[in-house]
Amino acid sequence: MKVVLISMPDVIPIVIHETALHMPNHGIACVAGNIDEGHEVHLIDLVRKRRGVVAYLTKTLKKIRPDLVGLSAMTWQFPTCLAVMRLIRRLLPGVKIDYEEYFAHIKRTGAECLIFQFKTAHGAAFAPTQVGFTNPTMSGDLFGEIVRGTKAAGLEFISYYNVILSWDLWRVHPEWSQIGRDGQPLRMFLYPCSCMSNDQFRAHVCAHMAEVTRNYPIDGWFLDLQYFSPKGCFCDACKAKFSTRFGYELEPDGFSVHQWLSLIHISEPTRPY
């Protein structure tokens, strides 16, 4: 059997820069190394072909003519993965791409639960949303498809939500940003970050989660990135709540050890999700 294993071309700067030295994709390499002898296995790492994915796949797949295609993708690469699937079906209508096998394989591992992203660090959601931002590269409802497939397999479904990071939200509501001591918006892991002390931002997150809970039969949430910057936040909301609670201004240049501990303690009530 001719087998082709493909990894996605998408990159993000914090993981790997597009002009940097690229190591072979570990995921598809491990799968290839464990395929039984007697099969002809080809690996296609599309990171190396980012500027000509369609042309390269068209030429290579027509040359190999595989019997089976395997696709490897992180959650935020799923829209690209679906586009690659559609291209392969158009080029080689007889090739096997078993989307349902994704869920069957998860169940065979003995897993009881699947975690899948709803909102990413970029800010967009993998589902149509009236509260937040829908991923512009997506057609249909990817999140809904994964929920339905997971539940049909008898597994619990946990929705991943990146709380504070979002390029999309920052463009619309820069006033919700965490602010440094110099008065400039802060970045965390190269992304704009909103402040959990801001009541409007907190209301937005709660409304977004409520929308998902109404529309999909999820079993729980994985709320990631509920952080304040290590540099501290000095936005208007943080300064106002600090002075109200402790009776003095948020001006750490003259803080004692006890006052520094107060700065840490005030973050605790801002993570209620």
Question: Which residues in 179-199 are b (16+ Cβ under 10 Å) and which e?
Answer: bbeeeebbbbeebbbbbbbbe
Residue of 69, 150, 71, 160 whose CA lies nearest to 103: 150
Segment 67-74 shows an average pLDDT of 86
Q: For 154-168, 171-185, 198-212, 220-234, which range has the lowest pLDDT when averaged over its residues? A: 220-234
Regarding predicted confidence, which is higher, 25 or 22? 25
Top mean-pLDDT range of 17-26, 169-178, 235-244: 169-178
Q: Which two tokens stand for residue 241?
A: 């709540």
Q: What is the pLDDT of residue 44?
A: 92
Regarding predicted confidence, which is higher, 252 or 216? 216
Q: What is the pLDDT of residue 31?
A: 83
Q: Which two tokens stand for residue 130?
A: 């009236």
Q: What is the pLDDT of residues 143-165, one digit of tens each?
A: 999 999 999 999 999 999 999 99
Question: Which residues in 126-147 are b (16+ Cβ under 10 Å) and which e?
Answer: bbebeebbbbeebeebbbeebb
Helices (H) and strands (E) in the chain, counts: 9, 10
Q: What is the pLDDT of residues 27-48, one digit of tens each?
A: 788 888 888 888 999 999 998 8
Indicate if the pLDDT at residue 7 is higher than 70: yes
- Residues 164, 237: Cα–Cα separation, whole Å: 15
Residue of 177, 202, 180, 210 whose CA lies nearest to 191: 177
Bridge pairing between strands 220-224 and 156-162? parallel
Contact 66, 95 (CB under 8 A): yes
Indicate if the pLDDT at residue 17 is higher than 80: no
Residue of 166, 165, 124, 168 whose CA lies nearest to 143: 124
pTM of the predicted protein model: 0.73
Contact 147, 157 (CB under 8 A): yes
Indicate if the pLDDT at residue 55 is higher than 80: yes
Contact 125, 132 (CB under 8 A): yes
Indicate if the pLDDT at residue 272 is higher than 50: no
- Residues 4, 136: Cα–Cα separation, whole Å: 29
Query: What is the rounded average pLDDT for all residues in the chain?
Result: 86
DSSP state of 155: -
Q: What is the pLDDT of residues 164-180, one digit of tens each?
A: 999 899 999 999 999 99
Indicate if the pLDDT at residue 77 is higher than 70: yes
Which residues make Cβ contacts (< 8 Å) with residue 239, sequence separation at least 6? Answer: 249, 250
Q: What is the pLDDT of residue 25?
A: 74
Q: Please return the burial class of 122, using the count of CB atoms within 10 Å of its CB with bins 0-12, 13-18 and 19+.
A: middle
Q: Which two tokens stand for residue 38?
A: 């007697």
